[in-house]
Amino acid sequence: MDPAIAPQFPISIASLSLGRAPHHDLAEKIHAASAAGFQGIELYYEDIELHAKQSSDGSFEENILKSAQVFKDLCDECNLKVIVLQPFTNYDGLLDPAEHAQQIDKIKLWFKIAKVVGTDLILVTSNFFSEGTTGDDDRIVADLLEIVELGEKENPPVRFAYEAISWGARKNTWQQTWKIVKKANRPNLGLCLDTFHIVARTWADVTRESGVRPNANKALAADLKECAAEVPLDKIFLVQLSDAERLHKPLDADHEWYSPDYPPDMIWSRNARIFPYETDRNGYFPIEKIVRSWVNDWGYRGWMSYELYHRDLYDPSPSVPQEFAERGMKSWGTMVQRLELDKIGSETR
């Protein structure tokens, strides 16, 4: 497979999107990404945590840093840049001081991991839980400032991409996370924009028969226009792309995946994200429209990264890493061709 190259848009893939850690060897996943033509990789914490827990010698911290070094060495061998460490979850808005303190200890370890693997970026997701948390903006700003100021003291300084998860209990749209980032006003705090979460809040509805919200196209167009008008490009630290399967029936109590313990969007995301343009797999999101707007109307230049979860990533078949890597690069090739990304220069609007 000849990889698609767009100089202004290096392409990455999340390590989890090449097979889940309990079932697929880290080296096989990294080699698959490199062979397919990817230039970067997102380090999903699970991938190095599993290796660290399997070691009986030394402390957990020692072992996870060794595991991080193995990851870095593999990436160097395969000429892959680690673009982000993720996901730092369920931190913002915690009410219990002990839980908050545990998360601060964790982020300090993550700083060490980030330094080992050679990335200066950590992805922070909006909190999934309503119990034991607050949505108060001032409190969440203070929480983020605490880790941001710690990150500023690192060498090199650590940046943070704050992501609105579509099932987030307190913050679930980019508008809400942007309000926090803007209020915090720190150079090393920006946004992560993920097409799945944006589409799930504006255009798609997995609980409807059609899979689409009323007035979906109008709502998405307004959302894209607002984002381009409100958010400076230098505050976009990470862009993640994925599509999702249009399910054969609504994800309600009658669906085989349904669980009252999890929001429908979360169930959908964990089971059925796919690569853009995979219409043969029931993909249906308007991803091309979004990327075209970001690139042409807004002027985004920089990394694009595929991040998808899928039930098949738990399949222990050794073919999974190569299959997903090749599917991802095929998708990217289609996007580069259709949007002529390889012809776009470095100028921004």
% of the chain exceeding 90 in pLDDT: 93
**Which residues in 144-154 are b (16+ Cβ under 10 Å) and which e?**
bbebbeebeee
d(CA 219, CA 225): 10
How confident is the model at residue 347, as a pLDDT?
62
- Confidence at residue 320, expressed as pLDDT on a 0 to 100 scale: 98
- When pLDDT is averaged across residues 233-253 and rounded to a whole number, the result is 97
Q: Average of pLDDT values for 237-252?
A: 97
> Residue 2: pLDDT above 70?
no
In DSSP terms, 85 is beta-bridged to 43, 122
Q: According to the model, what pLDDT value does residue 283 have?
A: 98
Binned at pLDDT 50, 70 and 90, residue 69 comes out as very high
Single pTM value for the model:
0.96
Question: Over the stretch 89-124, which tens digit does the pLDDT of each residue have?
Answer: 999 999 999 999 999 999 999 999 999 999 999 999
Asked if residue 55 has pLDDT above 80, the reply is no
Angle at 112 between CA 106 and CA 116, to 5 degrees: 140
Among the ranges given (1-15, 70-84, 95-109, 328-342), the one the predictor scored with the smallest mean pLDDT: 1-15
**81 and 103 Cβ atoms separated by less than 8 Å:** no
* Whether residue 346 has pLDDT greater than 80: no
Confidence (pLDDT) at 54: 81
Report pLDDT digits (tens) over 3-29: 678 899 999 999 999 999 989 989 999
pLDDT tens figures, 290-304: 999 999 999 999 999
Q: What is the mean pLDDT of the chain?
A: 96
Q: What angle do CA 25, 310, 38 make, to 5 degrees?
A: 60
DSSP helix/strand/coil, 196: helix
- Is the model's pLDDT at 348 over the cut of 60? no
